[in-house]
């Protein structure tokens, strides 16, 4: 393969699918948990601890494994991540009890970071100036992975038991690892001396990189408010006036595909000189969606429009953020991605808590007020930083 042509269109498409399959690992059991609870004869709250373990493992993987890409060959790390995920996913299927399954779930989440290794690999090893455009393509795969995990597992769960689904997914991940070995070129970026030095450098990188700090704030607010809406959405749709069953609620996630298309045009915006301003536009778009929610939530067309606008703003912001950080020093790409994604998922965790409690105590008004407050504070921070620079 001629590395000067990396990535070719076909390779980029394959890697996009690979990112989708990797991220989907985190969401399959969010739907299959109903069957897992019945199989092990446990309570709903006990079943929820499996999802928590997977998310904790993933966050730790983002913090501890993704930075390894600045020390070791990212191609090797990607293959190792895919194979390890396949092994732990299979192990979950053969777990003799729920506690053992939770342990394997933690390790599965920890190893499921290949998508966040693929993105800096492509960005660092490509010689195109349009890194935002490349990133947006791969991020579409990441966004699609959320849909695949929730919708596909729900459909398969009607015909196959959860253990068989785990084994099928494991086989697909191993096929993905083989494709990775064949299609990816050598990782040609310069590497750091030691892993300890890399971890010690993380606070210094945050201190020295104002663009990273800003995108971390944007990402935190983005995913927090995204989950403030999406986590209680099931409760909204299964209650009056909708009274939908869970099957229809799951299919509601298909709207996310349309929102993910925003990654296409926002990738080009990330390569522009005023990308920062487009971040503000994305956050204002999200604010508009919550304002709309406040008086349209009892109309299904209104809910669909709100979901679409929120997804467009969120995906646009995410793509702009990652496109901007990949224009920074190529030797730092894995660490930059690690720091950004850890903050992003911490925001999502906080948003899940706020969304649940706000809806339980204050209904739709609680979701709207909490989300707009977070987004407004973030925009104010951005405007203050912009004025301070001048």
Q: How far apart are CA 279 and CA 269, in angstroms?
A: 10
Q: How far apart are CA 101 and CA 164, in angstroms?
A: 15
Q: Given this model, what pLDDT does residue 332 score?
A: 84
User: 116: closest CA among 345, 350, 351?
Assistant: 345
Work out the average pLDDT over 276-301.
93
SS (H, E, C) the chain: CCHHHCCCHHHHHHHHHHHHHHHHCCCHHHHHHHHHHHHHCCCHHHHHHHHHHHHHHHHHHHHHCHHHHHCCCHHHHHHHHHHHHHHHHHHHHCCCCHHHHHHHHHHHHHHCCHHHHHHHHHHHHCCCCCHHHHHHHHHHHHHHHHHHHHHHHHHHCCCCCHHHHHHHHHHHHHHHHHHHHHHCCCCCCCCCCCHHHHHHHHHHHHHHCHHHHHHHHHHHHHHHHHHHHHHHHHHHHHCCCCCCCHHHHHHHHHHHHHHHCHHHHHHHHHCCCCHHHHHHHHHHHHHHHHHHHHHHCCCHHHHHHHHHHHHHHHHHHHHHHHHHHCCCCHHHHHHHHHHHHHHHHHHHHHHHHHHHHHHHHHCHHHHHHHHHHHHHHHHHHHHHHHHHHC
pLDDT by residue (tens digit) across 49-101? 888 788 889 989 988 898 888 888 889 999 999 999 999 999 999 999 999 99
pLDDT by residue (tens digit) across 219-277? 999 999 998 898 788 778 877 888 876 567 667 767 777 766 665 677 677 777 777 88
327 vs 161, residue with greater confidence: 161
CB atoms within 10 A of CB 210: 11
Task: Respond yes or no on whether the N-terminal peptide bond of residue 7 is cis (omega within 30° of 0).
Answer: yes
User: 219: closest CA among 71, 382, 76?
Assistant: 382
Q: What percent of the chain has pLDDT over 70?
A: 90
Q: Given this model, what pLDDT does residue 47 score?
A: 77
Average pLDDT in the chain:
85
Q: Check whether 214 has a pLDDT greater than 50.
A: yes
Q: The tokens 């990212």 sit on which residue?
A: 74
Q: How far apart are CA 370 and CA 221, in angstroms?
A: 11
User: How big is the CA angle at 102 (ends 101 and 105), to the nearest 5 degrees?
Assistant: 85
Q: Given this model, what pLDDT does residue 2 score?
A: 47
Query: Which two tokens mark 209?
Result: 């990189």
Instruction: Kindly indicate the confidence band of residue 44, based on its pLDDT and cuts at 50, 70 and 90.
Output: low
CA-based torsion, 251, 171, 112, 270: positive or negative? negative
Q: Given this model, what pLDDT does residue 221 score?
A: 96
Q: Given this model, what pLDDT does residue 340 score?
A: 93
Q: How far apart are CA 224 and CA 382, in angstroms?
A: 17
Q: Check whether 189 has a pLDDT greater than 80.
A: no
CB 184 within 8 A of CB 78: yes
Query: Which two tokens mark 165?
Result: 């689904």
Query: Which two tokens mark 248?
Result: 């229809």
Q: How far apart are CA 276 and CA 39, in angstroms?
A: 49
Instruction: Kindly indicate the confidence band of residue 337, based on its pLDDT and cuts at 50, 70 and 90.
Output: confident
Q: At what angle do helices 333-362 and 300-325 cross, to 10 degrees?
A: 160
Instruction: Kindly indicate the confidence band of residue 37, based on its pLDDT and cuts at 50, 70 and 90.
Output: confident
List all residues 6 or more positions away from 32 whose beta carbon is below 8 Å from its beta carbon.
Answer: 153, 157, 162, 165
Query: Which two tokens mark 39?
Result: 């199989």
CB atoms within 10 A of CB 277: 14
């Amino acid at each position: 393969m001629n590395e000067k042509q990396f990535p070719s269109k076909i390779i980029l498409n394959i890697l996009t699918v690979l990112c989708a399959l990797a991220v989907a690992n985190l969401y399959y059991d969010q739907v299959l948990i109903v069957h897992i609870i019945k199989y092990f004869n446990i309570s709903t709250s006990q079943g929820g601890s499996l999802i928590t373990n997977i998310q904790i493992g993933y966050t730790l993987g983002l913090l501890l494994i993704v930075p390894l890409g600045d020390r070791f060959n990212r191609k090797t790390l990607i293959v190792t991540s895919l194979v390890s995920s396949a092994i732990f996913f299979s192990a979950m299927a053969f777990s003799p009890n729920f506690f053992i399954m939770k342990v394997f779930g933690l390790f599965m989440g920890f190893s499921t970071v290949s998508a966040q290794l693929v993105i800096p690999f492509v960005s660092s090893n490509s010689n195109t100036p349009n890194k935002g455009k490349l990133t947006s393509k791969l991020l579409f795969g990441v966004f699609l992975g959320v849909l695949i995990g929730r919708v596909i597992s729900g459909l398969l769960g009607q015909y196959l038991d959860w253990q068989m689904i785990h084994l099928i997914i494991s086989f697909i991940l191993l096929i993905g690892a083989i494709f990775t070995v064949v299609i990816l070129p050598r990782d040609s970026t310069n590497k750091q001396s030691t892993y300890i030095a890399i971890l010690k450098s993380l606070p210094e990188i945050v201190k020295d990189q104002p663009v990273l700090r800003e995108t971390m704030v944007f990402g935190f607010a983005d995913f927090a408010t995204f989950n403030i809406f999406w986590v209680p959405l099931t409760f909204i749709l299964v209650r009056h006036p909708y009274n939908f069953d869970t099957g229809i609620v799951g299919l509601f996630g298909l709207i996310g595909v349309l929102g993910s298309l925003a990654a296409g045009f926002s990738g080009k915006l990330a390569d522009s000189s005023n990308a920062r301003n487009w971040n503000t536009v994305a956050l204002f778009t999200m604010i508009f969606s919550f304002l709309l929610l406040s008086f349209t939530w009892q109309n299904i067309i209104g809910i669909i429009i709100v979901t679409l606008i929120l997804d467009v703003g969120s995906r646009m912001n995410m793509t702009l953020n990652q496109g901007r950080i990949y224009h920074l020093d190529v030797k730092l790409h894995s660490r930059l991605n690690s720091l950004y994604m850890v903050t992003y998922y911490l925001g999502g965790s906080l948003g899940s808590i706020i969304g649940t409690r706000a809806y339980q105590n204050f209904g739709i008004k609680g979701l709207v007020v909490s989300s707009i407050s977070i987004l407004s504070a973030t925009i104010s921070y951005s405007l203050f930083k912009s004025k301070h620079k001048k």
